[in-house]
Chains A and B, each alone.
Chain A
Amino acid sequence: MVSGVLVMNTAIVACAMAALWIVVGGVRHEEAVRAGDRAAAVVAEMVRSDLEKSFAEQDLAAARLAIAKAAHAGALAGCRVSLGDGAVVADLDASAVTAKSIPAELPPLTIEPDSRHTFAVDIAGKGKVLLTVEPAGAIARSEWLEYGFGGVCLGAIILLGVVSVRAQKRAMPVTMVQSALNSVHAGEKELAALELADSFGGIATAWNGMVRELATHRARARFESVLTRRAQPGERDEAMGKMVDSLWHGIVAVDEEMRIRYCNGAAAVFLSGTRDGLLGTPLLERIGDPQAREKLEKLANSKGRGKIVVEMRTGEGDGGAVLRISGRPGSGGGGAMLLIEDVTQQRVADRSRNAFVEQATHELRTPLTNVRLYVEALVEKPDADVGTRSQHLNIINQEVRRLERIVGDMLSVSEIEAGTLKLAIHDIRLPALFSDMEAEFAGPARAKNITLRFDLPPKLPTIVGDRDKLVLALTNVVGNAIKYTPEGGTVKVAVRADDSLVIDVADSGIGIAAEDADRIFERFYRAKDPRVEKIVGTGLGLALAREVMRLHGGDVTVQSVPDRGSTFSIRMPLKAPLSMAA
C-alpha cells in the first residue's frame, strides 16, 4: 500500500512538472522564433549587397565569407545560398556545398521565398539566388527539448530520491519487525531483544505492545507450569510419585480452598475420576455425603490442628463402597493431606459379625431357658411321677441337642469366618454317600408322610472333596426341604454328573418369596413368612451349606415359586481345584 501511494505521488509530481515545462517551453519557443525571424531579416539585408558583389565578380569565396560573417553577426544556426535549381553555392556547413562555381546565367528560382527564412537576392543582370537562414532559435528549440527532458529526468530522479528516502523512513519499522521475526525464527527467546524504538512510529508501538503482551502471557504460563509442577510430581519426584502410586490407599493433597493439588491412582478410582482430570477441581464436588462434606470443609479452615476421620457411602447396591477419609491440615497452614481407604468389606464383615453375635445370643438363650426351666421343675418336685420326670428329661435332652447343634454350626461358621476352616480332602464314593442319606432321611420323611425320592444316574463318578462337610451341606439342604414341606408332600433329589456334579433338591413346600430368595443364605436369616417362624431353625444351615460348597469350588442356588415349592441346586466341579488337593 505504501509503495502504491509513493508511485501515485511520483506520477502526480511528474505530470505537474511536464505540464509546467510545456507551458514555459511554449512561451520561450515563441519568443525565440520571433527573435530568430528578426535576426534572419537583418542578416538577409546585411548579406544581400555582399552577395551581389561576389556574384558579379564570380567570387565564390567572397560569397562564402560574406555568409559566414553574416551568420556570425546574426548568431544564426545556419545560412545557405542556393540557386534556382537547388545547387548550393555557399553554406556555413562546407560539406553541404554542391556548386563548384557560380554559373554565368543563374537559373530561375523554383522555390518562392517566404521572406521569413528564405529570401530572394537579386543579382544585377544575372537573376536571383535563394538565401536561406536558420535562426539560432530553431536550433535552441531542440536543445531546449533535450535540456527539458534532462530537467524532467533530473527532477524525477530527485523526486524519486526524496520519495524513496521518505518511503525508506516509513518502511524502517516494517524492516525492523521483519528482522525481529527472523530472529524469533532463528531461535531468539528473549522478548526484550525484539522490541523496537518507539520513535519508529505507530507500527513500532503496536509491535512493542504485542511483544509485551506475549511476554506477559509467557510469564503467566511459566507461573502456572511452576504451580502444576508443584502440584504434580516433577521429574525429580518421579520415583517418589511412582511409589505413592503403588499404594492401594488413596492419597490426596488439597490447597487451602480444597482444590485437588495431587492425587494418586487409587484416589482417582475412589473419587471416580482420572488423575489429570481431578487436578485443580474442588474435592468437595466429589463428596456426595453431606455430613462428610461438612466435616471436610472444616478441615480446610482448621489451621494446622486436628485430624478428622469421616466415612461415607458411594454408589448403590453391590457396586457401592464405604470409603474412610482421614485428613490432617497441612503444617504450613494452607491445604490438607487426605488418605482414602476402601473399608467396604470391613464394614460388611462388622455388620455380619454383629448380627451373628446378636442372633447367636438369642438362639442360645431359648434352649438354655428351656433347660433351666425343666431342671428347676425337676429340682423343685423331686417326688414327681416317673412319666413327668421322663418327659422333662426328654425335653432337656432335646434342648441340649439343639444347643449342641447350634454351637456346632456356629463353630463351623466362625471357622469359615476366621478362614481356618480347612477341607479334609478324600475320594468320595457318591453311591454310598447317597444311600446313607436316603437311610438317614427315610424316618423323618415317613413321619411327615412325605414321599422322598432319590433319582440317581446308573453310574456316578468318584469325586474329590471333604466327605463330612459335603454331608453337612447336603443334610442341611435336604433336611430343610423335608422341614418346610407340609405333610403328604414330595421331596425329590436328582443327581446329574457331566462337567460338574449337580444335585437338585426339589420340594413341594411353602416356597420362598422373591425378596427372601437372595437373603436365605445369610447367617441367621429366616424368612418373614409366619409358616416359617413356627418351624424351629437357626438360620445357619443354608449359610453353612453355601460356604462349604463354595470352598469346594461350587455353589448353592435356589429357584422357588411361593406355595408351589423350591428347588435348591448344589453344584460342584468334578475336577477339584489344586487348593483342595493339597
Chain B
Amino acid sequence: MEIREQQHGAVKAIAPQGPLCLADAAEFQKAASGMLAANMGRCVVDLSATPYLDSQGLESLLSLTETLGDSGQFLKLCGVCETVREILELTDLASSFEQYDDITSAVRSFL
C-alpha cells in the first residue's frame, strides 16, 4: 500500500492511502513504528485518505499507541473520517488516541 510522508517542521505526518485492512495494516504498522522510533514519537497519522479499517487496522493503530504509551504519549490522529470515527467510538477505543481535525492542528500540538 502507498504510505505518504510529509515533513512539517520537526513532525512527520504519515498518511496511508487507502483502507487499513489485512496485510496493508501490518505493512503500515511496520512503516509507522519505524518512523515513530526514528522521530522520538514526533509523528502524526493522517487518516484523511483512509475511508475505513478492519480489526487488523485497528490493532495496528492500538499497537502504535501502546508503544507510545510507554513514554507517556498517545498516537495523534488527524483527518479521521466518519466511518473510522464510529469504529473507534463503538469499540471504545477513541480515548486511546489524540484526535485532531487537520494536520496543522495536530502538528501544532507538539509545540
A residues with CB within 8 A of B: 245-250, 264-266, 268-270, 318-319, 321, 342, 344-349, 352, 416, 419, 421, 499-500, 547, 550-551, 553, 555, 573, 575, 577-580, 582
Contacts and interface: CB of A to CB of B under 8 A. Distances in A.
Nearest to A274: B70
Interface stretch (B20-28, B79-87, B89-97): B79-87
Contacts of A270: 40
Contacts of A349: 9, 111
Contact of B80 (A246, A268, A342, A578): A578
A74 to B, nearest CB: 116
Given A264-B72, A550-B103, A578-B81, A573 B110 contact: no
A278 to B, nearest CB: 13
B11 A345 contact: yes
B9 A348 contact: yes
A577 B48 contact: yes
B71 A575 contact: no
A553 B79 CA distance: 8
A357 to B, nearest CB: 17
Nearest to A416: B104
A269 B40 contact: yes
A365 to B, nearest CB: 27
B72 A265 contact: yes
SS class, residues of chain A in contact with chain B:
helix
Complex A-B, nearest 10 residue pairs according to Cβ-Cβ distance, in ascending order: A579-B101, A577-B48, A348-B9, A553-B48, A344-B10, A345-B110, A577-B79, A266-B71, A248-B72, A319-B38
B56 interface: no
Interface string B41-73: 110001111010000000000000000011111
Interface residues of B, number: 40
Given A248-B71, A318-B39, 17 more contacts: A247-B72, A248-B72, A265-B72, A266-B71, A268-B70, A268-B71, A318-B7, A318-B10, A342-B42, A345-B11, A419-B104, A499-B17, A551-B104, A573-B49, A577-B80, A578-B80, A578-B82
A550 B40 CA distance: 23
B85 A345 contact: no
Contacts of B107: 345
Contacts, number: 104
B73 to A, nearest CB: 5
B46 to A, nearest CB: 8
A550 B6 contact: yes
B71 A577 contact: no
B9 A352 contact: yes
B12 A318 contact: yes
20 contacts: A248-B71, A250-B71, A264-B72, A265-B70, A265-B71, A270-B40, A318-B10, A318-B39, A319-B38, A321-B10, A321-B39, A321-B42, A349-B111, A419-B104, A421-B104, A550-B8, A555-B6, A575-B51, A579-B79, A579-B101
B30 interface: no
A438 B70 CA distance: 54
B32 interface: no
A344 B70 CA distance: 20
A342 B10 CA distance: 11
Contacts of A352: 9
A348 B7 CA distance: 12
Contacts of A499: 17
A419 B108 contact: yes
A416 B8 CA distance: 12
A453 to B, nearest CB: 29
B4 to A, nearest CB: 7
Given A268-B71, A318-B12, A419 B79 contact: no
Contacts of A580: 102
Contacts of B41: 269, 342
A578 B9 contact: no
Contact of B105 (A319, A419, A573, A582): A419
A555 B4 contact: yes
